[in-house]
Amino acid sequence: MNIISGNKEIISGCEEDIQSIAKIYLEAFPESVDFFFRRDAGDRILQIIALGFGILLDAGCKFFVAKDSPGNLCGYSIVVLDDAELHKAVIRHGHALGAAKALFTGKIAIRFTEMLKLGANGMVMAASSFVLPKRTSFGRLMSIAVHKGARGQGLGRDLLRRALQCLADEGVHVVRLEVRPENTAAYELYRTEGFSEIGVTRDLQGRWVAMEKLLFKGRG
């Protein structure tokens, strides 16, 4: 199902959109780029970020992109139907082993210290998530961002709603996300779309507010 947001169409994303999605991510989250890659925002970092999004797509995440009439990508949202299954899919498809091989053979221009930092970050966040309420399964909003030139038009809300509709259509009962407490605009968006705080997690950069929304009543 495609929807229209202003003069932009929101459609399912594909492999051809990955580079544009990575560019919007780099623009939207400069603090994370600075933290992990020490202000190196060149083509090397773009390819690393694009690789990560490519892995998510291959592992079964659902991508939605907003495009204007000339076809320029203005924003995106990404969800996974089952958070636990995503991790299994990454292992099953050999992405972790493939990334390690690419690192040591020089096919990925990521420095060893950057790889260690990213790995440590993931472990810290995974460990801190054990304090959250337990559920047998839940979907997750992985990432959402809008190009700076398209902000203030309600596009982020429409991208979020399209992602949530996908989860609901697939029978997902619960969706979770994390948002930085200082990102008040994103926090208010999620709150007004029915998300509630369920706890706090951490990574190497600081705190995340964990939020949850029930899409259907049922097991979870």
* Helix axis angle, 43-58 to 30-37, nearest 10°: 110
Report if residue 63 sits inside a domain: yes
pLDDT in the model for residue 166:
96
Give the dihedral sign, CA 16/155/85/217.
negative
Report if residue 140 sits inside a domain: yes
Domain limits at 63? Answer: 3-214
Q: CA-CA distance, 89 to 86, in Å (whole number)?
A: 5
Q: What is the pLDDT of residues 89-146, one digit of tens each?
A: 776 655 555 666 666 666 667 777 888 888 899 899 989 999 899 998 999 999 999 9
pLDDT tens, the chain, 220 aa long: 566 666 789 999 999 999 999 999 999 999 998 888 876 657 889 988 998 899 899 889 999 999 998 899 999 999 999 998 887 777 665 555 566 666 666 666 777 788 888 889 989 998 999 989 999 899 999 999 999 999 998 999 999 999 999 999 999 999 999 999 999 999 999 999 999 999 999 999 999 999 999 997 554 5
We report the CATH number of the domain holding residue 27 as: 3.40.630.30
Report if residue 220 sits inside a domain: no
pLDDT in the model for residue 100:
60
| 93 SS3 class | coil
Q: CA-CA distance, 193 to 97, in Å (whole number)?
A: 38
Report if residue 22 sits inside a domain: yes
pLDDT in the model for residue 144:
98
Report if residue 108 sits inside a domain: yes
pLDDT in the model for residue 15:
95
Tally of structural domains, the chain: 1
